[in-house]
């Protein structure tokens, strides 16, 4: 084994070591910068041509969502935070991804509310197109969007209070 080969191998090894470090850092980047990839231009584009009506994805719902107070509001992409506005942990913010969020007393719920008025699997928040929709899962005490008890999946515009049990929350952009 000549000295030159060893030298080349040596430097190649140090390079490999750093490639590994940077590979880890590169895979980490979404964590470092957060789930910031909101595709703002893409979300803004469908909202612009049809500002007054519900976005196209929601129109494909079997039963059209009951128009809430802020349903006609123009949104810049889906809401990204759920804020508890009243109840035990008022003020708590929960970041929303793209996954559905289960709300209820069960331990597998994404938002676990432990009070006497909440059912085990009470309601579910889903991202439908670019809108969050709340679906009551046949709960005992009901889910209220803007004070109205819902019986079909209902769009939740930003800033409209949703009541589950003794807890009220709203979505924010």
Residue 151 as a binder of other proteins (CB under 8 A): the answer is yes
**Residues paired with residue 166 on neighbouring β-strands, in sequence order:** none
**C-alpha–C-alpha distance, residues 163 and 53, integer Å:** 25
Residue 158 as a binder of other proteins (CB under 8 A): the answer is no
Longest distance between any two alpha carbons in the chain, whole Å:
82
* Residue from the set 85, 135, 141, 168 that interacts with other proteins by CB under 8 A: 135
* Residue from the set 4, 27, 33, 49 that interacts with other proteins by CB under 8 A: 27
| φ/ψ (deg, to 5) at 128 | -115, 105
Residue 81 as a binder of other proteins (CB under 8 A): the answer is no
Residue 8 as a binder of other proteins (CB under 8 A): the answer is no
* Calculated CA dihedral for residues 53, 58, 59, 61, nearest 10 degrees: -150
Residue 153 as a binder of other proteins (CB under 8 A): the answer is yes
* Residue from the set 42, 50, 64, 138 that interacts with other proteins by CB under 8 A: 138
* Residue from the set 100, 117, 159, 168 that interacts with other proteins by CB under 8 A: 100
The rounded Cα 138 to chain-centroid distance in angstroms is 22
Residue 62 as a binder of other proteins (CB under 8 A): the answer is yes
CA distances from 81 to 3, 10, 16, 56, 95 (A): 60, 50, 41, 23, 5
**C-alpha–C-alpha distance, residues 91 and 88, integer Å:** 9
In whole angstroms, the minimum distance from the beta carbon of 170 to other proteins comes to 15
Binding site for other proteins (CB under 8 A): 1, 6-7, 9-11, 13-14, 16-21, 23-25, 27-28, 31, 62-63, 84, 87-89, 92, 94, 98-101, 107-115, 126, 135, 137-138, 151-153, 167
């Amino acid at each position: 084994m000549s000295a030159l080969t060893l030298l080349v191998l040596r430097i190649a090894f140090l390079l490999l070591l750093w490639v590994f470090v940077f590979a880890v850092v590169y895979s980490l980047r979404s964590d470092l910068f957060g789930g910031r990839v909101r595709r703002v231009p893409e979300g803004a584009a469908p909202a612009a041509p049809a500002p007054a009506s519900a976005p196209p994805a929601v129109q494909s719902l079997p039963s059209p969502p009951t128009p809430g107070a802020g349903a006609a509001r123009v949104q810049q992409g889906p809401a990204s935070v759920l804020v508890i506005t009243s109840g035990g942990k008022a003020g708590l913010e929960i970041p929303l991804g793209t996954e559905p969020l289960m709300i209820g007393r069960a331990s597998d719920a994404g938002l676990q509310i432990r009070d006497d008025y909440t059912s085990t699997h009470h309601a579910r928040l889903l991202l439908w197109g670019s809108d969050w929709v709340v679906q009551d899962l046949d709960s005992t005490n009901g889910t209220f969007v803007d004070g109205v008890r819902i019986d079909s999946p209902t769009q939740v515009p930003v800033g409209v209070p949703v009541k589950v049990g003794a807890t009220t929350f709203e979505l924010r952009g």
